[in-house]
Amino acid sequence: MLGVLGLTRAEQDLYEQLVGCPPLTAGELAELVEEGSAEPLLARLRELGLVSAHGTRWTATPPNAALQVLLSDRARALAQARRYVAELTGRFGHGDSELPAMVEVIYGREEIIRRFQELQLGARRQFRACDAPPYPANDAAVVNTMEVDQLRSGLRFRILYDRRALDIPGRLADLEAGVAAGEHARVTDVPIKMTIFDDTAAILPLRSPPDVESRLVIYHPVLLDALSALFEMYWDRGLPLHAARGADEPSAAERHLLVLLVGGLTDQEIAAQLGISDRTVRSRVRTMMARLDAATRFQAGYQAVLRGWIADAQP
């Protein structure tokens, strides 16, 4: 079983023996080895971080820690190998050694986050995304400071938020920070979770439904054109999440409520986002609907758009 992590059968057997035993001396361990000496096996296990010596006695490192390190190392090695295979595949049959790979498969949360940041930092003109759960990072509600810095430097961000993305507690603060810095945000039912960096690369889930352990990076220009067209089609359909300011502008609390209302969140979901009770949300929604002379939430959103309360800062 542990052969995929680089252990021989004898090394695995000795490690399993140590996991189920109290600390043992080298002599005691020698009795557990069916063939050969225990010393080279212990040396190898120590090199891999699976055992440690305490005086003359040896003990196993806890499997949940030691084996996870080996798994992470192997995942990184596999990711590097897959990138290399993708590069070779892209060159195959072409004579141009500079031709980039058409696709790249990446595995593991850390590698996905690292590769995403690398592609984002490489963008020079625009960043387009269909934002939807699940997220590889555990802090999806934390303000994306890299985005804010890139917005200030002139990079254009257009983000289509899936309605489920707005349901994450605290996510509204991240969204508002981006919009305040210049992000163009709309909400819709996104067709696929994806991010397009300029017109040179796109990252999207490898599997359906999406998981947080695998991603596909696209470089092929024809595929990128198709993904760009899909994004633009849904962008045109999306509802803007910028609450406009004017003489009849809503209050800060009403702007927050409008964003979530247009996003299609329930009273309970809005309450979780704003940190208030369901009863308070219902009261504020009734007040908002009365102010907009609307009988339904849909009418309230429509009237807010007509009054200019919800509009894109730019097209």
The CATH fold of domain 2-61:
Arc Repressor Mutant, subunit A (1.10.10)
pLDDT higher than threshold 60 for residue 20: yes
Residue 315's pLDDT is 46
* For the chain, the helix, strand and coil percentages under 3-state DSSP, each to the nearest 5: 50, 15, 35
- Reported confidence tier of residue 257, pLDDT bands at 50, 70, 90: confident
CATH code of domain 252-306: 1.10.10.10
Mean pLDDT of 72-92: 65
| 8 Å CB contact between 219 and 196 | no
Residue 95 CA: distances (Å) to CA of 81, 87, 89, 100: 22, 13, 12, 12
Q: What is the pLDDT of residue 82?
A: 65
The answer to whether residue 27 scores a pLDDT higher than 60 is yes
Given a cut of 80, whether residue 21 has pLDDT beyond it is: no
Residue 88 has pLDDT above 70, yes or no: no
The DSSP call for residue 243 is: B
List alpha helices for the chain, DSSP H.
9-19, 26-30, 38-47, 63-91, 109-122, 145-152, 171-181, 221-237, 252-262, 267-274, 278-291, 297-306
pLDDT(110) > 60: yes
Kindly state the percentage of the chain with pLDDT values over 90.
14
Q: What is the pLDDT of residue 158?
A: 93
For the chain, where do the domains classified as CATH 3.30.870.10 start and end?
A: 104-239
CA angle 5, 7, 9 (to 5 degrees): 130
pLDDT at 151: 87
Closest CA to 241 of 151, 181, 311, 189: 311
| Residue 10: strand, helix, or coil | helix
pLDDT at site 23: 77
Report whether 311 contacts 244 (CB < 8 A). Answer: yes
Rounded to whole angstroms, the Cα distance separating 175 from 263 reads 12
What's the pLDDT score for residue 34? Answer: 63
The answer to whether 228 touches 128, Cβ cutoff 8 Å, is yes
Domain with CATH 1.10.10.10 in the chain: 2-61, 252-306
pLDDT on residue 4 = 60
Query: pLDDT at residue 157 above 60?
Result: yes
pTM, entire model:
0.51
Q: Kindly state which CATH superfamily the domain 104-239 is placed in.
A: Endonuclease Chain A (3.30.870.10)
Q: In this structure, are residues 57 and 25 in contact, taking their beta carbons and an 8 Å threshold?
A: yes
